[in-house]
Structure 1
Amino acid sequence: MLRASAIMAAGTMVSRVTGFARTMVLAYAIGTKALGDSYNAAYAIPYSILDLLLLGVLSSVVVPMIVRAQQHDHDGGRAYEQRLLTISAVALIVVAVLAVFAAPLLIDLYTDWTPGSNKYEVAVMLARFILPQLAFFGVGAVAGAILNTRDRYGAPMWAPVVNNLVVIAVFVAYAVFSGAGDDIGAVSTGDLALLGLGTTAGIVAQAAILIVALRRVGFSFVPRFDLRNARLGEMGRAGVWTIGYVIVTQLGFMLTTNLASAAGDAVEGHGISPYTLAFQLFQLPYGVIGVSVITAMLPRMSRAVGEGRLNDVRTEFGSSVRLICSLMVPVSLLLMVLGPAITVPIYGHGANSVADAVYIGNVLQVYGLALVPFAVFQLLLRVFYSFGDTRTPVFVGAGTTAVNAVLMVLFNAMLPPRYAVMGLALAYAVAYALGAMLAWWLASRRVEGLGGWTIGMALTRMYLAALPTAVLALAAVWVVTEVVNGLGFVNSLIVLATGGGLGLLLYLGVAHRMRIPEVNSIVGMVAGRVGR
């Protein structure tokens, strides 16, 4: 699993690095004020719809069903995969067309902006250019799921790099050729078409890479409309609960964007864009480490469940948690300490000031609290999905989202508008910590124990090994802010090199001396690769 995860993590790391470059160019070109908020609101909607219709079902329903078809169908599941890809393509083309026509309604749902205002109208136009990517993104996601069940993890993790490079080129072109900058009142229809259609072009390129990768593993796509053999009833019965879960989480996301957009109207530069950019950075460690391990774990766990090997399910889960947390623990502490030092070099340029970037870093610091609970929560959901149980995650997700919503409203009422987005991040952290506790209790009952004592002791040792790293990072921040007078671009890089770079090396050294096996495995694998 470590080798498979390393392949995916390498691709995801390059993807996230180019994603950094993408967000840097975005912040440079359009900033985090009115135009940036409009773009980020329009950009978030396709991902929300995809979560609702496809991506949540992929991990919980589609991957286990493909695995079963490969195990039991006489053709190894080939016809089933072709039907699945055909149905997904047709359905998502229809959804994309309907979404384009419904763009004003969608923007109204996801923001607090008044129809007719500059933010609202620009967001609607951008959404109409961006929403067609739904069809391409969805087909690419199904293709990636088929590749994963064949233990081909490289292309799904590397394809987003192409997407990022295309979008980077688009924003560079906007910064060079458009004179509007971050002025929402000065942007032309041509400017918005460049930003919106360019964003869609990136997804088209990403999907094309995955389709080519499918052909290279011997998959020949033949459209199949014989729906009687598509097992839609089975998929519907399993997927209805997953869709319910995604609906609940999207209602929570809708509340988040409405509160963030209202905060941005009250204090310019403190709205949707800081929330979105901080959330993307928060998701980076999980995307590189957590998703890679989960993607390798789910097919293996599904096979173990299918063969009645509950002990292997427990072993797979425990090793996954320890492997993920061995890196998530120090990274979460570093995010809480180094948030502004991370965001200033990335976002403090062009249309975005250093003060705007520092605020994004403050939001990121709060999100650092949520990193480990969120990763464990996602792992626990895969335990239920491996059993084909999509109902329990709905109730767990509903409870988590309800707590999150109550806390968001409460913190939003208590905090001044300039701190409202930080309050959203805090509500998220608390809700997922409580959700992880509930999911752990339910999953432990399902598999007759998850080895909580062993995992708890392992996490305690990881946190103890990471404490010197946190102290070093705090010292670096204090020296730069108190002695050198502030976080500029160069000073932030010094803090990152000292607190982040040396801090992680210190953690690896301390963890190695403490004989934490997951860290030793990672160090040994990297050393072996370097030695070659």
Structure 2
Amino acid sequence: MSSLLRSNLVVASGTAMSRVSGLARWFVFAYVIGQTALADAYVLANETPNIVYDLLLGGVLSATLVPLFTTFARTDGDDEGDDHATNVIITVSVTLMVALTVVAVAAAPLVFRLYSLDVADEVDVELFRQVGTTLARIFLVQILFYGLTGVANAYLNSRRRFVAAAWSPVLPNLIIIVTLLSLPGAGSTEYGLADVIDDSRVRWTLGLGATAGIAAMAVVVVPAMFAAGLRFKPSWDWQHPAVRKLLVLSGWTIGFVVANQVAVVVIRNLANAEGEGILTAYVQAFTWFVLPHGLLAVSISTTFQPEMARAVKAHDQAAFVRHTSLGTRMIAVLTLPAAAGMLVLREPIIGLMRRGQFDSNDLQNTAEALSGLALGLVGFSVYLFVLRGFYAHQDTRTPFVLNVGENLLNIVLAFAFVGRWGVLGLGLAYAIAYLVSSVWALNVLSYKVPAFRVRDVVGGMWKMGLAAVLMAEAMWFVTHRVDSDVGWAGFAQVVIGGTVGLVVYGAALFVLRADEVAWLRRRFARSG
């Protein structure tokens, strides 16, 4: 089996377990808490460290550390590598993370206030912000653990070590599930905002459950760095050229962060203003939306990025174009059927969550959000992958410019759509923004790397599109007469409709002789 295919399978399997357990976590959360003001406060507070990590630390790590660690790695012609530069980068990064965590915890009231500027009329605003700030103080400690995990994952990915990074996210999901179910009367007792203030058991169960889970993830991946060959000695050499390169590359990434944060603040407040629980519905739909991205696209992006960075380091433009083109096409061919499935089967999919405090109104709101988001899955996944092509060249300025455009479009469309379509409009705005930006990013990359021709990449995608349309029609045909979208009826729709759809999609690609099918057949034939 080829090393790249083996790496993809390792990442895909670990990501599958983490995403499935993540869905189970949301099932349990919906069962115990539902879509209430408390759910919105919890989501906003717990999303804060996630946002800081994903948009700041995560962006910096993807944009800079994987390419830098790849540059410092030992190669066949360099037995020593540059261990000192690696130690300097790790030391500086961890130091900055500690400082950021301290500042974030101290600024918790301001941080939560920023994400709750506009709260639904039926919610007690002061109590909502008091609860959110209380939880945020606990959750923001996660930034340090997220950062340690991110540095470790970047190092491991640069060394082609994917197991720990892929499988460790399962731990926080399991820990959160256990702690939520430990609440007295879980699923039958309706918890509200006041319970967080008045009941220390509720407060610490909600706060420490999530934070302990993220800490456990760091406990797994940090030792894996040393097992991968890291010889770490703390070094605060702030004048080292690697630090200067890190700071230069990160400068544009900070701009990338600011653009994303503006969009996040706007969208979260628009969702809050729509009514109690709408924000939670949007976030839960987004969890389903990123499930196929995590299962199908992340594994390709994670394993292809080091190869793209190595090709740039070796000045092998042909190899860079080959990996980038193939990765883009494979992400498209895998995410298109997932998008079609989520769009057609949105109600039975969300119906799987119908338990406990999660009622029919919650189901409808979440399904509407998912239908809008689903239209942008391919664009979202392709866009994020193409950005890695710029990062492989240690170019963070271009992703910043692209991201400003994507976020501006998302914000404008969100304002235009939310009044007419509510949470569905927020999903549509997100989808359209990423579809447009993915095409833009591909064209910009073709200017940077002339050998990368967009026509060669997207020329055969009409076959995928046609196959996805036939798949959607087949799924609708076999499921549209079912009366119920919950319970076993909903489950049967997802299983039977999804199976029929995938068979139709695969058969259509085979008949149309899609190049991606031939590539997969060759790869698996070699692995046999």
- Band the TM-score falls in, shorter-chain normalisation: over 0.9
Q: Is the 8 A contact 2:342 2:371 kept in 1?
A: yes
The counterpart of 1:251, out of the listed 262, 273, 286, is 262
One-letter identity of the residue aligned with 2:428: L
Structure 1: how far apart are the matches of 2:414 and 2:35? 22
The counterpart of 1:460, out of the listed 456, 459, 462, is 462
Structure 2: how far apart are the matches of 1:77 and 1:288? 34
Structure 2: how far apart are the matches of 1:378 and 1:24? 27
Q: Is the 8 A contact 1:26 1:171 kept in 2?
A: yes
SS of the residue 2:161 aligns to: coil
Structure 2: how far apart are the matches of 1:231 and 1:341? 51
- Report the more deviating stretch, 114-123 or 316-325: 114-123
One-letter identity of the residue aligned with 1:293: I
The counterpart of 2:477, out of the listed 469, 475, 478, is 475
- The CA deviation at 1:151 is 0.4
Q: Is the 8 A contact 1:174 1:195 kept in 2?
A: no
SS of the residue 1:479 aligns to: coil
The counterpart of 1:508, out of the listed 496, 506, 509, is 506
Match of 2:429 in 1: 427
Match of 1:328 in 2: 335
Q: Is the 8 A contact 2:69 2:155 kept in 1?
A: yes
One-letter identity of the residue aligned with 2:313: G
- Residue ranges of structure 2 left out of the alignment (5+ in a row): none
One-letter identity of the residue aligned with 1:407: L
Structure 2: how far apart are the matches of 1:176 and 1:89? 41
Structure 2: how far apart are the matches of 1:148 and 1:119? 40
Match of 1:208 in 2: 219
Mapped pair 1:68 → 2:71: yes
Q: Is the 8 A contact 1:343 1:361 kept in 2?
A: yes
- The CA deviation at 1:423 is 0.9
Match of 2:405 in 1: 399
Q: Is the 8 A contact 2:128 2:193 kept in 1?
A: yes
One-letter identity of the residue aligned with 1:386: A
One-letter identity of the residue aligned with 2:281: P
- The CA deviation at 1:320 is 0.4
- The CA deviation at 1:338 is 0.9
Mapped pair 1:78 → 2:83: yes
The 3 A distance-change label for structure 1 pair 311 and 525 is: closer
1:17-59 deviation per Cα after TM superposition (whole angstroms, max 9, x unaligned):
1111111001111111111111100011112212343110111
Match of 1:137 in 2: 146
Structure 2: how far apart are the matches of 1:318 and 1:220? 36
Q: Is the 8 A contact 2:368 2:423 kept in 1?
A: no
Pairing 1:158-197 to 2, within 5 Å after superposition: 158-174=167-183, 176=185, 181-187=190-196, 188-197=199-208
- Report the more deviating stretch, 249-258 or 1-10: 1-10
- Report the more deviating stretch, 386-395 or 448-457: 448-457
Pairing 1:347-358 to 2, within 5 Å after superposition: 347-358=353-364
- The CA deviation at 1:180 is 5.2
Q: Is the 8 A contact 1:136 1:203 kept in 2?
A: yes
TM-score, with structure 2 as normaliser:
0.93
- The CA deviation at 1:525 is 6.3
Mapped pair 1:21 → 2:24: yes
1:82-109 deviation per Cα after TM superposition (whole angstroms, max 9, x unaligned):
2222222222222222212211111110
One-letter identity of the residue aligned with 1:31: G
SS of the residue 2:356 aligns to: coil
One-letter identity of the residue aligned with 2:444: L
- Report the more deviating stretch, 138-147 or 166-175: 166-175
The counterpart of 2:306, out of the listed 294, 299, 322, is 299
- The CA deviation at 1:184 is 2.5
- The CA deviation at 1:74 is 7.2
One-letter identity of the residue aligned with 2:190: G
One-letter identity of the residue aligned with 1:350: G
- The CA deviation at 1:71 is 5.2
Q: Is the 8 A contact 1:473 1:499 kept in 2?
A: yes
- The CA deviation at 1:134 is 0.7
SS of the residue 1:138 aligns to: helix
Structure 1: how far apart are the matches of 2:108 and 2:184? 26
- The CA deviation at 1:176 is 4.4
Q: Is the 8 A contact 2:474 2:504 kept in 1?
A: no
Structure 2: how far apart are the matches of 1:475 and 1:456? 29
Structure 2: how far apart are the matches of 1:82 and 1:238? 18
Percent sequence identity over aligned pairs: 32
Match of 1:122 in 2: 131
Match of 1:240 in 2: 251
One-letter identity of the residue aligned with 1:496: V
One-letter identity of the residue aligned with 2:414: M
Match of 2:394 in 1: 388
Pairing 1:298-377 to 2, within 5 Å after superposition: 298-345=305-352, 347-377=353-383
The 3 A distance-change label for structure 1 pair 313 and 404 is: same
One-letter identity of the residue aligned with 2:99: V
Q: Is the 8 A contact 1:36 1:182 kept in 2?
A: no
Mapped pair 1:283 → 2:300: no
Mapped pair 1:96 → 2:114: no
Structure 2: how far apart are the matches of 1:179 and 1:488? 19
Structure 1: how far apart are the matches of 2:213 and 2:206? 11
Structure 1: how far apart are the matches of 2:267 and 2:182? 31
SS of the residue 1:219 aligns to: coil
- Residue ranges of structure 1 left out of the alignment (5+ in a row): none
- The CA deviation at 1:186 is 3.4
Structure 2: how far apart are the matches of 1:434 and 1:131? 34
The 3 A distance-change label for structure 1 pair 116 and 432 is: closer
Q: Is the 8 A contact 1:136 1:207 kept in 2?
A: yes
- Report the more deviating stretch, 138-147 or 105-114: 105-114
One-letter identity of the residue aligned with 2:431: A
- The CA deviation at 1:506 is 3.0
C-alpha RMSD of matched pairs (Å): 2.2
- The CA deviation at 1:198 is 0.9
Match of 1:518 in 2: 516
Structure 2: how far apart are the matches of 1:319 and 1:175? 51
1:125-183 deviation per Cα after TM superposition (whole angstroms, max 9, x unaligned):
11111111110110111001100011011110100011111111111112547985332
Structure 2: how far apart are the matches of 1:503 and 1:182? 40
- The CA deviation at 1:444 is 0.7
Give the number of aligned pairs: 517
One-letter identity of the residue aligned with 1:124: T
Q: Is the 8 A contact 1:180 1:186 kept in 2?
A: no
Q: Is the 8 A contact 2:285 2:370 kept in 1?
A: yes
Q: Is the 8 A contact 1:111 1:258 kept in 2?
A: yes
Match of 2:235 in 1: 224
- The CA deviation at 1:81 is 2.4
One-letter identity of the residue aligned with 1:13: A
The 3 A distance-change label for structure 1 pair 522 and 344 is: farther
- The CA deviation at 1:113 is 4.9
Structure 1: how far apart are the matches of 2:447 and 2:33? 50
Structure 2: how far apart are the matches of 1:194 and 1:140? 23
TM-score, with structure 1 as normaliser:
0.92
Pairing 1:35-46 to 2, within 5 Å after superposition: 35-46=38-49
Structure 1: how far apart are the matches of 2:90 and 2:183? 35
Structure 2: how far apart are the matches of 1:75 and 1:200? 38
- The CA deviation at 1:449 is 4.3
Mapped pair 1:31 → 2:34: yes
Match of 2:165 in 1: 156
